[in-house]
Amino acid sequence: MECVFCKIVNGEIPCKKIYEDDNVLVFLDINPYSLGHTLIIPKKHVLDFETIDEELLMNILKVAKNISKLVCDKLGADGYKLIQNNGLAQEVKHFHLHIIPVYNDEKKMSIDEVYKKITE
């Protein structure tokens, strides 16, 4: 299987990991829409919203609640969006939830600076 997210889970592709547990991995998006744009993915390959089991989905939402607060607090965001795409709208065919912080006045920072600020 040539799934980029499965390769990240398996350590074949590096990521800026924010959080990990037995079921999910959370990391910074390498092409962020805004500072702190974060992805939450299940560690096992699940295609989309239609095929994810409810227990795993609830775990992802619980993690999203905690991580969105962490990212917003650490980066001074004024809000955030949760986005999950399916079908044609889904660029990577592995369920993932985007946390996209929004700002009144966004500062310029590199992904390394954002990672350091979130994980310190």
Q: What CATH number is given to the structural domain containing 45? A: 3.30.428.10
Q: Which domain holds residue 99?
A: 4-119
- Which of 37, 45, 94, 96 is labelled catalytic? 96
How many domains does the chain fold into?
1
Least confident of 7-11, 67-71, 78-82, 104-108: 104-108
Contact present, 10 and 4 (Cβ < 8 Å): no
| Catalytic-residue membership of 94 | no
Write down the pTM of the prediction.
Answer: 0.93
pLDDT surpassing 70 at residue 62: yes
